[in-house]
Amino acid sequence: MAILYDAASKTLSLHTRNTTYQMQIGATGHLLHLYFGRRVDAVHMDYCIIPSDRGFSPNPYEARYTREISLDTLPQEYPGANSGDFRVPALDCLSANGAVGTDLRYLRHEIRAGKYALPGLPAAFAGAGEAETLSITLGDAATGLEVELLYGVFEAADMLTRAAIIHNNGTSAVTLNRVGSLCLDIPFGRWELLHLHGRHSMERNAERAPLMRGMQTVESRRGASSHHHNPFVALLEPAATETRGECVGILPLYSGNHRTDIEVDQTDSVRVVSGINPDMFSWQLTPGDSFAAPEAAFCFTDEGLGDLSNRLHRFIRRHIIRSPWKDRCRPVLINSWEAMLFDFDADRVMRLAEQAAALGVEMLVLDDGWFGARNSDLEGLGDWTPNAAKLPGGLKPLSDAVHALGMKFGLWIEPEMVNEISALYAEHPDWALTVPGRNPAFGRNQLVLDMGRAEVVDYLYGVFSALLRDEGIDYIKWDMNRNMTDVYSRALPPDRQREASHRYMLGVYDLLDRLTTAFPEVLFEGCAGGGGRFDAGMLHYTPQIWCSDDTDAIERVAIQLGTSVAYPASTMGAHVSVCPNQQTGRTVPFGTRGIVAMSGTFGYELDPAQLTEDERRQVRAQIDRFHRWYDVIQYGDLNRLTELADRGDFTAWEFASPDKSRALLNVVTTHTRANHPGAHVRLRGLDPGAMYKIDEICYEGCVNPSMDVPLDGAALEGRVLSGASLMYAGFTLPPLMGDYPGAQVSFIRVDTDGGVG
C-alpha cells in the first residue's frame, strides 16, 4: 500500500520507493502538510509543527483564544483566501453575496487503486498496479463549495501527482478567481529556484537563483505555456549539483496561461502554489457544476538535479505520453522549411525527397505553404485545401510518390489560427478572438481562432480527420505561431469572458484528443514557433515537440540541455541545418551539428542537393550511428557531465542504457583555446565492476593546423577500461582544435574475456 491512513493521529502518508509525503487533519479540521522528502516510515511528523504566536497571525474561530494556532503559519495542503492565511492562496473565489474566499475543512477521504483521470485535461496514467489515488474532500460551509484534492501515487516511479476538482454544492453561483493545482508548503530549509526562461529562438535556458523573502513568480499570460517561462520549476538546496543534494521538481501538465508563485514568508517557510494563471481568468461555477484544475506532477530527490531529471524523463515517457510512438524509433526526417520556405512545387518537393531518400532519410515533412493561397505568411491560413499552383494533383499523388521512395510522408498544419486574408475568415470572422469595437493586434499576420467554441473544434476535426484519412499522411507537425491577444469570445456572455483563455486550451486538448485517438498510428510533433508550447500537457498528445526555431548547434546545446532538466531527449525535435546558420550566421562543423541533433529526435532541415560529397558521406554515417544508438538516447538515462551554470570551454553529456551495458558520450567545444588541457569528464551510470570497450571515437570538425594530421579515434578504439576507472578517474579527450569541434565516444560493456557483456 502506497497510501496509508492512521486514524489515531489522523495522518495520511503517501509513500513512493524513496520518498514520503505526509499530511494531517488538524484539530480545527484544516488539512495540514507535515512532510515531503526522503522516505520515512511509520512515524507521524506532526512534531515538526511548533505552534507559536507570531503576532498579527489570526486564529481560527474554534481556537480563537489560542494565539499559537494560525492558518497564517501552519503548513497547509490547499489554503483558501480571506480566512486567516495571508500567504498566497490555492483557492480564491467570490460568492453570490460578494464575499471573498473560503475556509476549507476536511470532510472525508477515499483511497482507490489506480490513477484518477481528469475530464477534458491531460493527466498522467498508470497500468495495473502502478499507481494509487487518494481523494480528500474539503468543504466550505459559507459557499457550499466542495474541493476534491486528488493525489496520484506512482510508487515505483517515485512520482506524485496532484489536481483539484471544485464542486458547487451550494445554492448560488460562485466565481472562481484562482484555482491552484497544488500547494506545497516547505516549512524549513534554504532553497534556490531553478526555472527555464527564454524567448523565441532561445527557449528554456536554465536559470538558478536563491529565493528571496517575498514572492517570486514564474508565469505566462500569452495563451501558451510560452518560449519565455516554461511551467516547470525546481527548488534546490544551495549546495545541490548534478549528482548531489535535495531537489523538488514541479511539472504542470498545462499548456496555457500558467503561474507558479513561490513565496518565502516571515518564518522563511516556502509556499509553492502552481496552477492556471489567475490573471485573465475566472470561472462561474453554477450550483451542481464542477471545475477541474489541471494536474501537476512532482517529485523529490536527494541525489541531485541529474536524478531529478531522469525521474521526470522516465515518468514523461511512461506515464504522460500516450502515443504508441513513445516506444518506437522515430523516423529520421527531412523538413522542407529551412530548405524551401514557401517557395516550392511538387517537383521540387520530390527532388528533395529523392535526394534525402538516397542518403537514408526515412520521412519527408512538407512544412508551411502547401495549402490555400499560402505563398507567404500573409494569407491562406485556415484554408486547408492544397494550393493548386504548387500541388496541382493535390496531396495524395505526392504522398504516394514519397511512399514509393520507401519514405514516410509528413505534413505541417496550424489548426488554431487564421489569416485575415483567407476564405475561412471571410466566412466566419466571428470565429477569431477579437474585442468588439477594437481592431485586433496581429501576430505573424494572423489571428487566433476561438478554440473554446465547440463548432470551431468540430469544424477543424472534420477538416483534419479527412486529411489524415484520405491523403496518406504518417506524421503531423502541429504549429502555433502567435500568442493570444484580444481574448474575447463571441460565444460567451459578458460575465464569462475571463473563461475564454482556459476554454481555448480545453478546445485544443479536445481536438488533439479526438485526432490522436482516431489516428493513433500518426506521429504528431507539437510546435509553437519552435518551443513556445513545450510542456507536459502537450506531450500527453504529441510525443515530440520542435524544440526551437534556432537550429544553430551551439545555441541548441544550451536550449536542449536546459530543456533536458525536465523533458527527455525523445521529446525534443532537433535537426541538422545549413551553415552559415539561418538564425545566427554562425558556421559549425557538420559533424558537431550531427552530435547535437542526434541528442533529440533526429532529422535534417536543408537541401541535400547543396551538400558536398563529404557532407553526404557524413549524413549516411550520422543516420547509421543514430540507428545504432537511438534506444540509448531515447530510453536511456541522461547525465549532464558539465554543470548547467558552467559556461566553460566545452559542454559534455552522456546517455547510458538503464542496464548499464552501453553509454554514448557527447562533447561539444563552445570556446576553443590555445594549449588546452583537453576535455576531461567522469562518466556516470556505468557498473563500476564491469569492463567497457571503447567502441568508437568520432572526432567532428577538428583541425590540427600545426601538424596537419587529423585526430584519429582509432588509436584508442577497442581499448577495454573498467566502469570504475571511467567513472572515478574519468576520460580525457585530446585538445580539440578548430571552430566548434566535437566528439562522440561510445562504450560497450564486455565480458572479461572480451565478448560483449
Between 603 and 608, CB nearer to ligand DGJ:
603
Least Å distance between CB 253 and ligand DGJ?
22
Which residue's beta carbon is nearest to the bound ligand DGJ?
368
**Three cell numbers written together for 12:** 495520511
- For residue 726, the Cα-to-chain-centroid distance in whole angstroms is 32
Place of cell 557483456: 757
Between 530 and 608, CB nearer to ligand DGJ:
530
Least Å distance between CB 644 and ligand DGJ?
24
**Three cell numbers written together for 426:** 471571410
Residue 530 as a binder of ligand DGJ (CB under 6 A): the answer is: yes
Nearest Cα neighbor of 80 from 146, 22, 12, 13 is 146
DSSP E strand stretches across 323-445: 333-335, 363-366, 408-413, 417-419
Site string for ligand DGJ, 145-184 (x = CB under 6 A): ----------------------------------------
Torsions phi, psi of 195, nearest 5? -140, 165
Q: What stretch of H or E contains 402?
A: helix 395-404
Between 479 and 654, CB nearer to ligand DGJ:
479
Stretch of 219-227, 509-517, 523-531, 664-672 contacting ligand DGJ, by CB under 6 A: 523-531
Between 16 and 446, CB nearer to ligand DGJ:
446
Which amino acid does the sequence have at 192?
E
Distance separating alpha carbons of residues 2 and 156, to the nearest angstrom = 10
Least Å distance between CB 211 and ligand DGJ?
34
Torsions phi, psi of 354, nearest 5? -65, -45
Torsions phi, psi of 384, nearest 5? -90, 45
Distance separating alpha carbons of residues 438 and 121, to the nearest angstrom = 32
Residue 77 as a binder of ligand DGJ (CB under 6 A): the answer is: no
CA distance from start to end of the chain: 37
Binding residue (CB under 6 A) for ligand DGJ from 300, 371, 384, 546: 546
Least Å distance between CB 672 and ligand DGJ?
30
Classify 735 as helix, strand or coil. coil
How many positions of this chain bind ligand DGJ (CB under 6 A)?
11
**Three cell numbers written together for 521:** 498510428
Place of cell 553509454: 663
DSSP assignment of 334-366 equals EESHHHHTT---HHHHHHHHHHHHHTT--EEEE
What distances in angstroms separate CA 557 from CA 270, 311, 330, one per listed residue? 32, 21, 21
Distance separating alpha carbons of residues 681 and 76, to the nearest angstrom = 44
Least Å distance between CB 338 and ligand DGJ?
8
Least Å distance between CB 324 and ligand DGJ?
24
Binding residue (CB under 6 A) for ligand DGJ from 331, 529, 568, 723: 529
How many CB atoms lie under 10 A from the CB of residue 135? Answer: 15
Site for ligand DGJ in 468-497 (CB under 6 A): 479, 481
Q: Which residues are paired to 601 by β-bridges? A: 573
Between 201 and 599, CB nearer to ligand DGJ:
201
Least Å distance between CB 510 and ligand DGJ?
23
Nearest Cα neighbor of 726 from 664, 637, 672 is 664
Least Å distance between CB 423 and ligand DGJ?
19
Residue 337 as a binder of ligand DGJ (CB under 6 A): the answer is: yes
Residue 122 as a binder of ligand DGJ (CB under 6 A): the answer is: no
Residue 412 as a binder of ligand DGJ (CB under 6 A): the answer is: yes
Residue 534 as a binder of ligand DGJ (CB under 6 A): the answer is: no
Residue 603 as a binder of ligand DGJ (CB under 6 A): the answer is: no
Q: What stretch of H or E contains 594?
A: helix 590-597
Site for ligand DGJ in 196-235 (CB under 6 A): none
List Cβ neighbours of 755 (8 Å cut-off, separation of 6 or more): none
Stretch of 255-263, 509-517, 526-534, 659-667 contacting ligand DGJ, by CB under 6 A: 526-534
Distance separating alpha carbons of residues 409 and 168, to the nearest angstrom = 49
Residue 415 as a binder of ligand DGJ (CB under 6 A): the answer is: no
Least Å distance between CB 518 and ligand DGJ?
24
Cis peptide before 580 (omega within 30 of 0): yes
Distance separating alpha carbons of residues 144 and 166, to the nearest angstrom = 10
Stretch of 51-59, 151-159, 265-273, 522-530 contacting ligand DGJ, by CB under 6 A: 522-530
- For residue 681, the Cα-to-chain-centroid distance in whole angstroms is 28
Catalytic residue among 615, 643, 687, 739: 615
How many CB atoms lie under 10 A from the CB of residue 68? Answer: 13
- For residue 432, the Cα-to-chain-centroid distance in whole angstroms is 28
Between 295 and 368, CB nearer to ligand DGJ:
368
Least Å distance between CB 373 and ligand DGJ?
15
Determine what percent of the chain falls in helix, strand and coil, rounding each to the nearest 5.
20, 30, 45
Least Å distance between CB 356 and ligand DGJ?
17
Distance separating alpha carbons of residues 159 and 18, to the nearest angstrom = 10
Residue 549 as a binder of ligand DGJ (CB under 6 A): the answer is: yes
Stretch of 160-168, 194-202, 344-352, 527-535 contacting ligand DGJ, by CB under 6 A: 527-535
Site for ligand DGJ in 255-314 (CB under 6 A): none
Answer yes or no: 510 catalytic: no
Between 379 and 479, CB nearer to ligand DGJ:
479
**Three cell numbers written together for 484:** 493570444
Residue 212: burial class (beta carbons within 10 Å; 0-12, 13-18, 19+): exposed
Between 165 and 365, CB nearer to ligand DGJ:
365
DSSP assignment of 506-569 equals HHHHHHHHHHHHH-TTSEEEE-BTTBTT-SHHHHTT-SEEE--S---HHHHHHHHHHHTTTS-G
- For residue 45, the Cα-to-chain-centroid distance in whole angstroms is 33
Answer yes or no: 753 catalytic: no
Binding residue (CB under 6 A) for ligand DGJ from 368, 535, 552, 555: 368
Catalytic residue among 535, 605, 607, 695: 535
Least Å distance between CB 551 and ligand DGJ?
9
Between 582 and 670, CB nearer to ligand DGJ:
582
Between 64 and 199, CB nearer to ligand DGJ:
199
Stretch of 80-88, 451-459, 524-532, 615-623 contacting ligand DGJ, by CB under 6 A: 524-532
Least Å distance between CB 598 and ligand DGJ?
19
Binding residue (CB under 6 A) for ligand DGJ from 132, 140, 242, 367: 367
Classify 162 as helix, strand or coil. strand
Binding residue (CB under 6 A) for ligand DGJ from 194, 527, 569, 697: 527
Between 562 and 591, CB nearer to ligand DGJ:
562
How many CB atoms lie under 10 A from the CB of residue 495? Answer: 11
Between 385 and 672, CB nearer to ligand DGJ:
385
List Cβ neighbours of 302 (8 Å cut-off, separation of 6 or more): 37, 38, 245, 246, 247
Between 574 and 579, CB nearer to ligand DGJ:
574
Any idea which residues carry the catalytic annotation? 535, 615
Give residues in contact with ligand DGJ (CB under 6 A).
337, 367-368, 412, 479, 481, 527, 529-530, 546, 549
